């Protein structure tokens, strides 16, 4: 098992790069944002519960998010490893993930952050909003709120994983191919 967390602010390229990593290392990709959006589209109870949080750019409460993540892992157990994208985003989620993975005899091998400035991210997200129709990508105030959520609740995880000697940072600027290559080089050095 090789389990990776792909970490970074909204728009840093986590989803795009997770797709490449998933294919190269044969990992199962779990994006909590995608799971929420799928539930919102299909109007499940979970989707209805999460909708207003996503619309405002707020984090969905831990109780809902952690349960959803654990279910997704348990439903997809016969895999070579997981790539967690957009999870964990709070200390409680990170601690729960460690506890949960340990209970099924797994652990996180590496947390890899994509490092990009907020100015660059705002223009990337507004561009993405034109293509994807995501309402949380179309409004600068919502984007800034997502950065605030990251800065207030998520950035502390850098130290959490540094303390476990599992934190790595990769320059998230440049072409998609260049960033993928940086990630491949890093992961190859860890496997």
d(CA 156, CA 149): 11
Q: Are strands 82-85 and 110-115 parallel, antiparallel or unpaired?
A: unpaired
176-183 contact pairs (CB < 8 A, 24+): 176/13, 176/16, 176/17, 179/13, 179/17, 179/114, 180/17, 180/20, 183/17, 183/20, 183/21, 183/112
Near ligand AMP by CB under 6 A: residue from 60, 112, 113, 179: 60
Integer CA distances (angstroms), 61 to 32, 48, 51, 90, in order? 12, 13, 12, 10
Near ligand AMP by CB under 6 A: residue from 59, 101, 112, 114: 59
Q: State the virtual CA torsion across 26, 15, 65, 25 in degrees, nearest 10.
A: 10
Query: Considering beta carbons, is residue 29 or 136 the nearer one to ligand AMP?
Result: 136
Candidate ranges 53-61, 96-104, 108-116, 155-163; the one touching ligand AMP (CB under 6 A): 53-61
43 Rama sector, left if φ>0, alpha if ψ -120 to 50, beta otherwise? left
Is residue 87 a contact point for ligand AMP (CB under 6 A)? yes
Q: Measured at the alpha carbon of residue 29, what is the angle toward residues 184 and 110, in degrees to the nearest 5?
A: 50
Candidate ranges 55-63, 70-78, 114-122, 160-168; the one touching ligand AMP (CB under 6 A): 55-63
Is residue 142 a contact point for ligand AMP (CB under 6 A)? no
Is residue 143 a contact point for ligand AMP (CB under 6 A)? no
Is residue 129 a contact point for ligand AMP (CB under 6 A)? no
Q: Closest separation between CB of residue 30 and ligand AMP, Å?
A: 10
Is residue 13 a contact point for ligand AMP (CB under 6 A)? no
Q: Closest separation between CB of residue 27 and ligand AMP, Å?
A: 17
Tallying the residues shown for the chain, one arrives at 191
Query: Considering beta carbons, is residue 60 or 108 the nearer one to ligand AMP?
Result: 60
Contact positions with ligand AMP (CB under 6 A) in 21-50: 32-33, 36
Instruction: Tell me which residues touch ligand AMP (CB under 6 A).
Output: 10, 32-33, 36, 53-54, 57-60, 65, 86-87, 89, 93, 136, 146
């Amino acid at each position: 098992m090789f389990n990776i967390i792909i970490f970074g602010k909204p728009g840093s390229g986590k989803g795009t790069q997770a797709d490449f990593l998933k294919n190269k290392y044969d990992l199962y990709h779990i994006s909590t944002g995608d799971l929420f959006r799928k539930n919102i589209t299909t109007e499940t109870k979970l989707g209805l519960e999460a909708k207003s949080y996503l619309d405002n750019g707020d984090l969905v409460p831990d109780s809902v998010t952690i349960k959803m993540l654990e279910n997704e892992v348990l439903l997809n157990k016969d895999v070579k490893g997981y790539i967690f994208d957009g999870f964990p985003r709070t200390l409680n989620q990170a601690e729960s993930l460690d506890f949960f993975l340990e209970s099924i005899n797994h652990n996180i091998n590496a947390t890899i952050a994509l490092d990009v400035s907020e100015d660059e991210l705002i223009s990337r997200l507004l561009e993405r909003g034109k293509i994807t129709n995501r309402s949380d990508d179309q409004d600068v105030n919502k984007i800034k709120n997502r950065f605030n959520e990251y800065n207030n609740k998520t950035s502390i995880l850098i130290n959490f994983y540094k303390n476990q000697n599992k934190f790595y940072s990769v320059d998230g600027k440049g072409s998609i191919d260049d960033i993928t290559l940086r990630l491949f080089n890093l992961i190859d050095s860890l496997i």
